[in-house]
Chain A
Amino acid sequence: MNMFKHKNTPLIIAFSIPILMILFVVVSIYIPGLFVQPKYNFLYSTGEDYYGNRQYSVIGGRLIINPTPTPSLNYRSYGNPQLYVHNVMTNESMPVSFEDGSNYFLDSNTESPDGYKLENGSSGGGFFPFWYDRDYGSKYLVGHNVSKKVNVRSHSSSYNSIHFLGWIMQ
């Protein structure tokens, strides 16, 4: 007994399912990106100390330079950290000096006032034969059920390649 009116119907549905799923993935990734409109630019630094001894931090909404830690056997000196402001409208990062950065009033909460967070990309994974690499060091603005890749400048592809300092309030 045939469950379908036309003989080729199951074949058409069988091919349509993966194609529709690919379209769904495309739509769910690229279309929301058109509607993601975060308002707040953010300040970050790259090339900070590998062991977490940050040169820059934010206290009371203002950018400061931390005092240099006492040298020890385990201490690795600061590299040459660079400050950047990321413009969320143009999706570009521009270098700024400490003097310019210290003029901003910063919100150092992980979530911006308009509900976005800066998150790392997913790491690689899968299983045989579907292993794959992913860029864990890539950054995304995530919020309101959408995400958008942000073009940050970093010195490496590790997950802590950039140090988020704060959302620029003014």
Chain B
Amino acid sequence: MDNAVNMEKQELLSSITSLSLQNSVTKEEVIQAFENGKQQKTGVLRREMGLAEVLYFIGGFIVFVGIAILIWQNWSTLNSVTKILTTLGFGIAAYFAGVILNREERYGALGYAFHLIAALVIPLGLTVTFDQAGFNTSSAGTQSLIAGTLFAMYLSSYLVFKKPFFTFFSIAYATYFFFSFTNFLIGSNPYFTDIKFYEYRFLMVGLSYLLLGYYLSSTEQKDLSGILYGFGNLFFLGAALVLGGWKPSQNVLWEIVFPGLVFIILFLSVHLKSKAFLTWGTIFLMAYILKITGEYFSGTIGWPLSLMICGVSLIGIGYYAFTVNKKYLSTKI
């Protein structure tokens, strides 16, 4: 930061202090002015995302599919070294290509296309490598090793390069590690029935995503908040709804708690100005009404009347969501 900017900053802070003394400026106004600057910056970045970048990412994904099919079709003819080189070797090469391209501004998002290839191909490469080393790749222990390696790699990449792309894949592979490691821990223990345990884990992962999204919304990586809010709400509310079960083996506690959770999410949509909260809250409220009607009322008042009540409720919820969106969520996340 040069001296001119530093002096300008000192003057500005002094002005804020004197205006604050005179009660001429509020804390919210200062914070809002600061946030406006951040939003303009991200707005510029968003506008830069154009057709070329979309094509980069689609291209990256197609390359991954091509490698996967190549290996699958020639599995019996390729030797171990070739299998590892075409998957793990290619993934590592793509990773370093991404690192080099990201250094040069003139290549724009091209580097991320290579990073995407690496992020998809390296897991495949690690699976092939472990398989060739004689590990059972479908065991939870081996999957924990693969997921742990990927998580460590992308977390280190984030710490070195400080790019949101690496944050995203760190979170994705941390999630993979969480599921595979807990699978490894429970082993074949009959007390942990598969579906119920998955439901509770998704509930917790969803909650973690929501909190991470909230934390990132106040950092320079606020663009990731929308994705985390979306998946967080999907996992959290989805798991809570499924935990309610279905008659006759329903869980009444979760069925009672669920609408409370949905209304908290809808309340937070206004508080956080988040369309992801509003959208998922609305969708799950509709799903809950359909579920409860089908479960408890279709047999008593009949399906036709149940459907009419459902329909009117859904229209009401839809209108509520529309009003909230229009009135409060002018700035979306």
Chain B interface, >50% SS class: helix
CA distance A2 to B190 in the complex (A): 43
B207 within 8 Å of A (CB atoms): yes
In chain A, residues 1-29, which have Cβ atoms closer than 8 Å to a Cβ of chain B? 1-3, 7-8, 10-11, 13-15, 17-18, 21-22, 25-26, 28-29
Given A14-B215, A17-B208, A18-B204, CB of A120 within 8 Å of CB of B190: yes
CA distance A52 to B204 in the complex (A): 44
A124 within 8 Å of B (CB atoms): yes
Query: How many Å from the CB of B259 to the closest CB on chain A?
Result: 22
- Which one of B179, B190, B192, B215 contacts A8 once the chains associate, using CB atoms below 8 Å? B215
Given A17-B204, A21-B201, A132-B143, CB of A122 within 8 Å of CB of B190: yes
A104 within 8 Å of B (CB atoms): no
Residue of B nearest to A30 (CB): B185
Structural contact, B204 and A119, CB atoms closer than 8 A: no
Given A10-B212, A21-B204, CB of A142 within 8 Å of CB of B190: yes
B188 within 8 Å of A (CB atoms): yes
Residue of A nearest to B197 (CB): A25
Given A8-B215, A18-B205, CB of A29 within 8 Å of CB of B138: no
Chain A interface, >50% SS class: mixed
Residues of chain A with a CB closer than 8 A to B218's CB: 2, 7
In chain B, residues 131-146, which have Cβ atoms closer than 8 Å to a Cβ of chain A? 136, 138-140, 143
Q: Count residues on chain A whose CB falls below 8 Å from chain B CBs.
A: 39
B182 within 8 Å of A (CB atoms): yes
CA distance A134 to B212 in the complex (A): 32
Structural contact, B190 and A10, CB atoms closer than 8 A: no
Structural contact, B204 and A134, CB atoms closer than 8 A: no
A79 within 8 Å of B (CB atoms): no
Residues of chain B with a CB closer than 8 A to A122's CB: 188-190, 192-194
Structural contact, A134 and B187, CB atoms closer than 8 A: yes
Residues of chain B with a CB closer than 8 A to A1's CB: 271
Structural contact, B214 and A133, CB atoms closer than 8 A: no
In chain B, residues 37-95, which have Cβ atoms closer than 8 Å to a Cβ of chain A? none
B191 within 8 Å of A (CB atoms): yes
A129 within 8 Å of B (CB atoms): yes
CA distance A147 to B193 in the complex (A): 13
Structural contact, B139 and A132, CB atoms closer than 8 A: yes
CA distance A140 to B212 in the complex (A): 39
In chain A, residues 112-167, which have Cβ atoms closer than 8 Å to a Cβ of chain B? 119-122, 124-126, 129-136, 138, 140, 142, 146-147, 149
Chain B residues at the A interface, C-beta cutoff of 8 Å: 136, 138-140, 143, 174, 176, 178-183, 185-194, 198, 200-201, 204-205, 207-209, 211-212, 214-215, 218, 271
Can you list the 6 inter-chain pairs with the closest CB atoms, starting with the nearest?
Answer: A121-B188, A14-B211, A10-B211, A11-B215, A10-B215, A132-B140
User: Told that A17-B211, A132-B139, A140-B189 touch, could you supply 15 new A-B pairs with CB distance under 8 A?
Assistant: A17-B204, A18-B208, A21-B178, A22-B182, A25-B192, A122-B188, A122-B190, A122-B192, A126-B183, A126-B194, A130-B179, A132-B143, A138-B187, A142-B190, A147-B189
